[in-house]
Amino acid sequence: MEVIDVWRGRYACALQSSLRMTNEAFANHLGIALRTVATWHADPDVVPRAEMQQLLDEVYEKATPAVRKRFALLATGGDKGGPGEGAGGPGPQALRVAIAVVVREDEVLMVCRRDDDSSGITWQFPAGVIKPGVRPETATVREALDETGVHCSVRQNLGSRLHPVTGVQCEYFLCEYLAGEAKNSDVVENVDVMWAPRDAVTRFIPASKIFPPILAALEEHP
């Protein structure tokens, strides 16, 4: 396999494995968010957007002959591990993601993801990967700031679950707004940031996709 006409999640994971990189190392190598790599592992058929296609092309074109050989084996299923596994490379890793449900009076902070998210949900709450050794509360506050420019503090742990669509372990936290003007600070991953009325959240995210404790918390008075 010398050419990939259209990169899909499975081929991106096969490239990662052929490079013998962890999820974090591969994300850093491409200059993208770790959650994007997690999306490729969660949905092998997802088609990354155009700029991601170009990044993957560039990495493949610069790869050594040995890496290309491993990639061809993995991408065509020639290795018993299948795409993204085997050949001594890392397979999908268990990721933990911190979700920040930031409230300000009768509003809640939301971000609009770009369209390569496997869940099919565009509007979401700020979220980020919990790196090893980092407390979930710390990751929650930091990610909200990095994505939106909003400073917040954790008010309550809302619980955790294995996300029904992405398969990623999610930790949910109700957070209180402290300061800062909401803005899109992560233009690579997000399209927009806004404060939405608490009682209108289900207009942006289907109720069936929202972790029930979040809905219960948003129904309560500040």
**pLDDT tens digit sequence for 94-115:** 578 899 999 999 999 999 987 6
Half-sphere exposure of 175 (CA within 13 A, CB side): 32
Structure tokens at 95: 């990721």
User: 117 and 165: one domain?
Assistant: yes
CB 37 within 8 A of CB 107: no
Angle of the 9-18 helix axis to the 65-75 helix axis, nearest 10: 140
Q: What pLDDT is recorded for position 115? A: 60
Structure tokens at 62: 């610069």
Higher-confidence residue: 61 or 164? 61
* Residue 193 and residue 126 in one domain: yes
55 and 101, same domain (yes or no): no
The residue type found at 15 is L
CB 193 within 8 Å of CB 120: no
pLDDT confidence tier of residue 214, bands split at 50, 70 and 90: very high
Hey, what are 112's tokens? 């609009």
- Per-residue pLDDT tens digits for 146-195: 999 999 999 999 999 887 766 678 999 999 999 999 999 887 778 889 99
- Whether the CB-CB separation of 113 and 190 falls below 8 Å is answered with yes
Mark whether 106 and 195 lie in a shared domain: yes
**Other CB atoms within 10 Å distance of the CB of residue 50:** 9
Residue 144 lies in a domain: yes
- Label the pairing between strands 107-113 and 96-104: antiparallel
Q: Give, in order, the Cα–Cα distances in Å from 56 to each of 78, 167, 186.
A: 21, 24, 20
Domain that holds residue 20: 9-75
- pLDDT tens profile 68-83: 888 888 877 644 444 4
Do both 149 and 44 map to the same domain?
no
38 and 127 both lie in a single domain: no
Residues 118 and 205 in one domain: yes
Could you tell me whether strands 190-197 and 123-124 are parallel, antiparallel, or unpaired per DSSP bridges?
Answer: unpaired
| Domain boundary pick from 75, 106, 123 | 75
Query: Is 69 in the same domain as 109?
Result: no
Residue 65 shares a structural domain with residue 101: no
Distance CA 147, CA 186 (A): 5
Whether 119 is in a domain gets the answer yes
pLDDT value at residue 44: 84
> Residue 167: which CATH number?
3.90.79.10
Examine the domain organization and report whether 111 and 205 are in the same domain: yes
Residues 16, 105 within the same domain: no
Average the pLDDT over 111-135 and give the result.
76
d(CA 110, CA 194): 5
